[in-house]
Amino acid sequence: MAISISKVAVIGLGTLGAQIALQTAHKGYQVFGFDQDHSIFNKHLEKFLAVDQSKVRQAPVQVADWPETAKKIQFCESLADAAAQADLVIEVVPENLELKKKVWQEIDLAAPASAILATNSSSLPVSKIEGVTSRPERCLNLHFYQLVLGQNMADVMGGTQTLPQVIEAGKGFVRSLDIVPLTVNKELLGFCFNRVWRAIKRETLYMWANGFVDFRDVDKAWMIFSDNSWGPFSLMDTVGLDVIYDIEMVYYRESQDPKDRPPDKLKEMIQAGHLGVKTGQGFYTYPDPEYLRPDFLKG
């Protein structure tokens, strides 16, 4: 029997959580949102509106509509309130396994028994989290990318006991948002495209941290090669350098390969408070990063 989804809870309204909530509400779902920081959603909405959409390809939504869309989201005072009526709960909290387990325990207690639980984790398979719930057969990975940059795709992957109809419901939900589902048939750390993106991150960070190249030249090359308005370093700034570091550490802990360890130079930037767009300083300075200036790609 097909699983029906009409009410969606988004737990965590940071960079990606806010985009997921907005796109879901934009497509007519009843959306319940919760974040411990009640101001974070509006802060990110302002940043989304500042993105020059003329330089974004294949944007799945008109970002200009998002302020009106935001009025449709029901912001809740507690995680339990947000999850209480949901058919699908999407967790979007930092890339920390113990934190995710804690949040999932709370979600499992609050959500209806029939609800699907999904993690937007950038690297962690849901199999590492499903054990804290009473419904491992209704758990899956739904990893969304930067919709505001036109990246209308999402990894879809099951856990050790996920029912086929739950996978299909997840893929159907993703498609209903005008987003392309990237199906992962067997459990894989990093999923589909995020594993490709991870290889790019590792190599470009290595080249930069060891003084082989200037990060600007890497971005210029990528922008020319892909006809895109951003490169690997500007995208890392958008994601958040602290988030990038945490994700890279997930791969390192799994492999214990020194080549997988993120460079100390990146950690030094984080310790200095240079996290990217959200702090105004990362590899570039915001709100007017040089990679968006007309002369950036001029020889």
- pLDDT at 60 exceeding the cut of 80: no
Alpha helix segments (H runs only) across 124-192: 164-176
Q: Label residue 228 by pLDDT band (50, 70, 90).
A: confident
Could you report how far apart the first and last alpha carbons of the chain are, in Å? 59
The pair of three-digit structure tokens given for residue 14, joined into one six-digit string: 């940071």
In the chain, the largest separation of any two C-alpha atoms, in whole Å, equals 60
Q: Give tens-digit pLDDT for 67-77.
A: 999 999 999 99
Name the pTM for this structure: 0.86
Q: What pLDDT score does 33 carry?
A: 98
Determine what percent of the chain is predicted with pLDDT higher than 90.
83
Q: Give tens-digit pLDDT for 7-29.
A: 999 999 999 999 999 999 999 99
Rounded to whole angstroms, how far apart are CA atoms 140 and 116? 8
Q: Label residue 47 by pLDDT band (50, 70, 90).
A: confident
Q: Write the CA distances from 81 to 110, 203, 250, integer angstroms.
A: 8, 43, 31
Q: Give tens-digit pLDDT for 261-288.
A: 999 999 999 999 999 999 999 999 998 9
Q: What pLDDT score does 229 carry?
A: 86
Rounded to whole angstroms, how far apart are CA atoms 250 and 153? 22
CB atoms within 10 A of CB 89: 27
Rounded to whole angstroms, how far apart are CA atoms 229 and 219? 9
Q: What pLDDT score does 245 carry?
A: 96
Rounded to whole angstroms, how far apart are CA atoms 283 and 208? 11
In the beta sheet, which residues pair with residue 75? 33
Selection from 80-94, 190-204, 221-235 with the highest mean pLDDT? 80-94
- pLDDT at 156 exceeding the cut of 80: yes
Q: Label residue 55 by pLDDT band (50, 70, 90).
A: low
When the pLDDT of each residue in the chain is averaged and rounded to a whole number, the result is: 94
Amino acid at 148: V
Q: Write the CA distances from 102 to 73, 120, 132, integer angstroms.
A: 25, 15, 8
- pLDDT at 58 exceeding the cut of 70: no
